A and B are shown apart, each in its own frame.
Chain A
Amino acid sequence: MPENRSGVASNAAEPGRLKVLVADDNPTDRMILARLVSRLGHSVVSAENGLDALVKFSFEKPDLVLLDALMPVMDGFEAARRIKLQSGENLIPIIFLTSLTETGALVKCLEAGGDDFLTKPYNPVILQAKIQAFNRMQEMHQTLQDQRDLISKQHERLLHEQELAKIIYDRVAHAGSLDAANLRYVQTAFAMFNGDILLAAYRPSGGMHILLGDFTGHGLSAAIGAMPLAEIFYSMTARGFLLRDILQEANSKLSRILPVDIFCCAVLIEINPDKGLVAIWNGGLPEVLLLGRSGELQHRVPSTHLPLGVAQADRFDPTPVVLPMASGERLLCLTDGVIESRDQAGNQFGESRVVELIASYEARPHDVFDGLLQALEAFHGSPEDDISLLEVVMQPLQAPPATLPQEDARHLDGQDWQLAYTFRSASIREHNPLPFLLKVLMEVPGLRAHAGRLFTILSELYSNALEHGLLKLDSSLKLDSQGFNRYYDERNERLRQLNGGWIRVLLDHRPDPNGGVLHIEVADSGDGFVEQARGVVRDRYAGRGLELVRALSDDLSFNPDGNQVRVEFAWRLGHTAG
C-alpha cells in the first residue's frame, strides 16, 4: 500500500519535514539541540534518558533519533539496541550525541546500532547536513522496500496462479485411462509443466487411443494448448472417432488457436489387441520403438509428419503407420527430454544410446523401461527432471467400465423404429459416419451398455462395405507388415478418387418384453465381397472382421450377391455391461 508507507517519513506533514527524537539527560544540551532541530523545520520529541527515549520511540514513531550515549536509568547504547530491534526492517537512523573521543567508545556506539555521531558543542550546519543525508537514505531504503514488497507480492501471486494452473493441467493431461495394465509411464513434474502431455482412452469398439505430446516452449504458455488437445482426444475417442479423425481435428484446432511458435510434437497410437494391430502416427517426436516378445528391436517409427498445429488442414496428413503387433510385444515412446538429456560434459544421451540400451536388454524386455530410466540417471548424474517415457504392452485389455449411464428400459414403445441412411460418394470421401450412427443407437437406453460391441459391429460392416465393396481392396495384401502399409496407402488413394457408388445402413429396433432386437443391415453398390471374405483368405490378419462380428452378434447373414450383410443383435433387460 504505497499510500501508507510504513513508518518512515509518513509522520511529517510536509515532504522533508521529519519527526526527530532528541534524547539527552542534560537539560541545557537537550534544549539547545531541540531548538536547532525545530529551526531546521522538523518536529521534535524530547526524552531525558534511555528508557524515556525507548517509550517515546514506541509511541511517537520518529524518523530519526539523536541519542546521548551516557544517560541515567538506561544508557544510549542499550536504548539504541532496543530501538533498532523495534524498527525492524525500517531504517530509523540513530545519531549518537557525544563528546566522547576515544575510539573504543565510538566503536561501542556503532556496535549498538549507531549510524553516525554528532559532537558537542553542536554545529547547526553539520546537524543539517546529517539530517538531510539520512533523510535521503531513508527515502531510498523505503523505495527499495516498496519495490521488494511489490515484487514478492507479484511473485506470490504468480506462484499461486501456477499452482492452480498445474492442478487443472494435471487433471486434464493425466485424466483418462493411464492406469490401464498395459501402460507404464514416467512423466516428471517438470516435464509436465513444460508442456508434456500424456493421454489414454479406451475406444468404444475395443482397443485404446494413446497420445504422447510435447508442446513447444516452457511453463504455462506451453501447457495451455494441452487443454483443447485433451478435450478433443477424449471426446472424440469416446464417440468412436478414428485416429485420423482425431488427428485432423486436433491439428486444425491447434493451428487455429495457438500462436505460430507454439505447436505440439506428438505420437498418437491406436492399439488393437483383438486384431493384433497397432497404428502409429508420429509428428515430431523421437522414433517410436516396437520391441518383439524377447525384447528385440523390430520396428522404428520415425517422425514423418509435421507436429500438430503447424500444417493447414488441407495439407495435413493424418495417415498412421499400421503394424502387426502380437501379444507380448511392446512399444517405447519418448520425448525430446530423454534424447536431449545431457551429461556433465554436455553430451546428449541421443537416440543411438537408447537403441544400444534396448539391445543390451534382449531377452529381458520387462526390464527395459527401468533400465532406460537408470541409464538416464547415470548419464545425467542425477534424476532427470524433464522426461516423459511411455511403454505400451500388447495384451488383452480389461473391458472398460460402461461410460454411458445405463437407464431402466422404460417407454419401450418409443423405441420401435427403423431408419435408413444412404451415404453417397462425396459423403463417404469426406466423413466417417460411424460416430453419428452410434449416437443414434445410444438413444435406446438398453443399448448403451453394449456401445462397445455395437460400435465394433458397425465399424466392421462399414469398413467391409467401403474397402472391399466400393474400393475393391484385396485383403490378402495384409499378409505381412509391408503389405499393411501398401494396403492402407492404396485404400487412401482409392478413397480419394471415389466417384459414384453408395453405402446404405439400415437400423431397425423392435422392443420385446425381455428387451429388444436390433437389426443392422449394411449394403453397398459394389459387386459383392462376402464370398471372398468367407473363402480362402483366412489367415493371421485378414478376414477377421466378419468372424469378430459373428462372435459379437446373435445372427449374421448375407444376400446372394454378397454386397449386403445383416446382423441381429438382441439385448435383455437387466443385462449389464460386458
Chain B
Amino acid sequence: MPDLPNDIDSAVQDALRELMQDDYALLIDTFSRDSQKRLAQLHLSLQAQDWEDFRQTAHSFKGSCGNMGATALQQACEEAELAGIAADAEAAQASYSKIQHCFERVVPLLGL
C-alpha cells in the first residue's frame, strides 16, 4: 500500500526521542492515556450525535497525532473532524472506526 500514509513517521519519533531524552517514555505513556480518553470521548459523542463535541475531540486528537508523527491516525482524525462539521453520522461512524483501527496499529509500534 504505497499511497497510504505511514502509521508512524520514524523521523518524527527520532526527533522526539532526542528532544525528550529520559522523558520519552513518559511522553509515550501520556499520549497513550490521552488517546484512550479521546477514543472514549469520540464514542460517547458519536452515540449522543453531539457533532460539535465530536469535532472538537477529533480536532484535539489530530493535533497530538501530528506532533507524535502518527500520520495515518492524524489523517483519520481529520476525516472525523470534517464529519463532525458536516454533522454527517455515517461519515462520523466510518471515521471513528478508522481511528480505532489506526490506533490499534500504532500501539505496538510505539511499544505501548
From B27, B62, B67, A122 is in contact (CB under 8 Å) with: B67
Once A27-B34, A28-B31, A70-B56 are accepted as A-B contacts, the answer to whether A120 and B63 lie under 8 Å apart by CB is yes
Which residues of A lie under 8 Å from residue B64 when comparing CB positions? 26, 28-29
Partner of A121, one of B12, B27, B56: B12
**Interface of chain A, main secondary structure:** helix
Q: Is the CB of B27 within 8 A of A99?
A: no
Nearest residue in B to A39 (C-beta to C-beta)?
B19
Q: How far is the CB of A272 from chain B (nearest CB, A)?
A: 98
CB 8 Å contact bits of B13-24 with A (1 = contact, 0 = none)? 000100110010
On chain A, the residues within 8 Å of B59 by CB distance are 70, 99
B36 within 8 A of A: no
Tell me which residues across on chain B come within 8 A of A120, comparing CB atoms. Answer: 62-63, 66-67
Q: A35-B20, A70-B56 are in contact. Are A29 and B63 (CB under 8 A)?
A: yes
Q: How many residues of B contact A (CB 8 A)?
A: 21
Residues from chain B with a CB closer than 8 A to the CB of A99 are 59, 62-63, 66
Residues of A near B68 (CB, < 8 A) are 28
Q: Quick check: A28 and B30 within 8 Å, CB to CB?
A: yes
Cβ–Cβ contact A26 & B60, under 8 A: yes
A36 at the A/B interface (Cβ < 8 Å)?
yes
Q: Which of B19, B56, B67 contacts A28 (CB 8 A)?
A: B67
Closest chain A residue, CB of each to CB of B74:
A121
Please name all residues of chain A whose beta carbon is closer than 8 Å to the beta carbon of B33 when the two chains form the complex: 27
B44 to chain A, nearest CB (A): 14
In the assembled complex, A55 has its CB within 8 A of some CB on chain B = no
A189 on interface, CB distance cutoff 8 Å: no
Contact with B along A370-408 (1 / 0, CB 8 A): 000000000000000000000000000000000000000
B23 touches A28 (CB 8 A): no
- A120→B64 CA distance, assembly (Å): 8
Contact with B along A211-224 (1 / 0, CB 8 A): 00000000000000
Whether a CB of chain B sits under 8 angstroms from the CB of A25 is yes
Is residue A31 within 8 Å, beta carbon to beta carbon, of the partner chain? yes
Q: Which residues does chain B contribute within 8 Å of A363, judged by CB atoms? A: none
Partner of B19 from A25, A26, A32, A70 at Cβ < 8 Å? A32
Contact status B34-A28, CB under 8 Å:
yes
Q: Are the CB atoms of A121 and B67 closer together than 8 Å?
A: yes
Q: Is the CB of B67 within 8 A of A70?
A: no
Closest partner residue, chain A, to B64 (CB atom): A28
A28-B31, A70-B56, A121-B12 as given contacts; A35 in contact with B63, CB under 8 Å: no
A31-B30 Cα distance, complex, nearest whole Å? 9
Choose from A35, A36, A121, A122 the contact partner of B23 (Cβ within 8 Å). Answer: A35
Contact B67–A32 (Cβ < 8 Å)? yes
Residues of B close to A31: CB separation below 8 A: 20, 23, 26-27, 30
Give 18 new A-B contacts, CB below 8 A, not counting A28-B31, A31-B20, A31-B30. Answer: A25-B60, A27-B30, A28-B27, A29-B63, A31-B26, A32-B16, A32-B19, A32-B27, A35-B19, A35-B23, A36-B19, A99-B63, A99-B66, A120-B62, A120-B63, A120-B66, A120-B67, A121-B69
Residue numbers of B with Cβ under 8 A of A are: 12, 16, 19-20, 23, 26-27, 30-31, 33-34, 56, 59-60, 62-64, 66-69
What would 22 A/B residue contacts be, using CB atoms closer than 8 Å? A25-B60, A26-B63, A26-B64, A27-B30, A27-B33, A28-B31, A28-B64, A28-B68, A29-B63, A29-B64, A29-B67, A31-B20, A31-B30, A32-B19, A36-B19, A70-B59, A70-B60, A99-B66, A120-B63, A121-B12, A121-B67, A124-B19
A-B pairs, top 7 by smallest CB distance, nearest first, are A28-B64, A121-B66, A120-B63, A28-B31, A121-B67, A120-B66, A27-B30
